[in-house]
Amino acid sequence: MEKTKKKMPKALKIVLWIVGIFLLVNLIAALPVASFIEVQVLKGKGDSERTREANMKAWLDEETSMDADEFEKTYQMTSLNLPSSENIGYVIPVFHFIPEAEAKGFVVMAHGMNSSHIGIYPEAELFLEEGYEVFSFDERKFGESTWEYTSYGYYEGKDVEDVFQYACDSSPEYYIKGIWGQSLGGAACEDALDNDGLREKLDFVVLDCPMGAMDELTGAPAIQNKLAGKFNKSIVGYSFDEQNPYGKLKQNTAPVLLLLAKEDKVIPEISLNTIRESVEASPAELSVYESEGSPHADIVYVDRDGYKEILDYFLKALE
């Protein structure tokens, strides 16, 4: 005899339908709202006030006993406001330093989050001692920048391109030409590699604890990141996909020095691994230095001798 199936009570069906519709409506409504909030939080990150000149010089003296004024005098610092080719009306605060010995090249240096061109004087000094002119700049929202928010490498990458082109126009043709980026500045340099003109002239890249893709920084679920990435385009002009640097790294042909801090708790491991894999998948030659005991972006303080030695070895190979 065939068994009859038990029918679900009508009242239970109605309840389940109501619950299902409620969950669906909440999913549709909540994800965009969460994504919008996520974007706003990312957009607003960074303390611009503490990166003003006086504050940064006091911080540098306290943390490293380095006299910023003496550094600027020794290396004949000059400054200028360079018009942005990406954003009409915005000017990039640029700072130029000259080595004491005869220069053999230049490097464009991009600092990290909550810092300024002053915050990377210890690293800049290493390049100056190697005989490289330094062109640094204050990134969006920090130091003397008038931009209202950081863009996690996207607009900062356009600034690297502009400063690099200015440096090329201001320098002899025979110069060795490079870019260096730390953390947020690393993402900026990675983004700049999408520029054909920059890649054609570029002789080296140094990435110090660099940031990777924005969606890896948020820690949010994939579906939320997908929506957030699309919202970002309408709010600040670029999507998460456009900020993603990995495809740009694969286009690079110039030698890359990747500096990693063993105690880095800021950049997700997946980002650092993917940066490394992306360079390995490119035509570029990769050198990697992993500093024991160094926190994020602190290699020059914890392991200055190691930093200086690997940088010297890397740069000498270019001559």
Taken in order of first residue, the domains within the chain and their CATH numbers are 9-44+220-241 (no CATH), 48-211+245-316 (3.40.50.1820)
pLDDT at position 89, please?
Answer: 96
Strand-pair category, 91-97 with 176-182: unpaired
Task: Sort 66 into a burial class: Cβ within 10 Å, 0-12 / 13-18 / 19+.
Answer: middle
Predicted local distance difference test score (pLDDT) of residue 1: 44
**Residues 285, 314 contacting (CB under 8 angstroms):** no
Structure tokens at 72: 């600027």
Rounded CA gap, 90 and 53, in Å? Answer: 20
Number of Cβ within 10 Å of residue 215's Cβ equals 19
DSSP string, the chain: -PPPPPPPPHHHHHHHHHHHHHHHHHHHHHHHHHHHHHHHHHHH-S-SGGGSHHHHHHHHHHHH---HHHHHHHTT-EEEEEEPSSSTT-EEEEEEE--SSPP-EEEEEE--TT--GGGGHHHHHHHHHTTEEEEEEPPTTSTT---SS--TTHHHHHHHHHHHHHHHHHS-TT-EEEEEEETHHHHHHHHHTT-HHHHHH--EEEEES----HHHHH---HHHHHHHHHHHHHHHS--HHHH--HHHHTT--S-EEEEEEEE--SS-HHHHHHHHHHHHTSSS-EEEEEEEEEETT-HHHH-HHHHHHHHHHHHHTT-
pLDDT at res. 228: 78
> What is the C-alpha separation between 117 and 93, in angstroms, rounded?
9
Pick from 182, 144, 179, 139: which is nearest to 45 by CA? 139
∠59-61-66 over CA atoms, to 5°?
A: 130
93 burial (CB, 10 Å; 0-12 / 13-18 / 19+) is buried
Q: What is the pLDDT of residue 227?
A: 77
Tell me the C-alpha distance between 163 and 155, whole Å: 13
Q: Which of 201, 169, 192 is nearest to 109 (CA)?
A: 192
Asked if residue 278 lies in contact with residue 213, where contact means CB atoms within 8 angstroms, the answer is no
Residue 268: CA count within 13 A, CB half-sphere? 12
Low-confidence stretches of the chain (pLDDT < 70) are 1-43
pLDDT at 230: 78
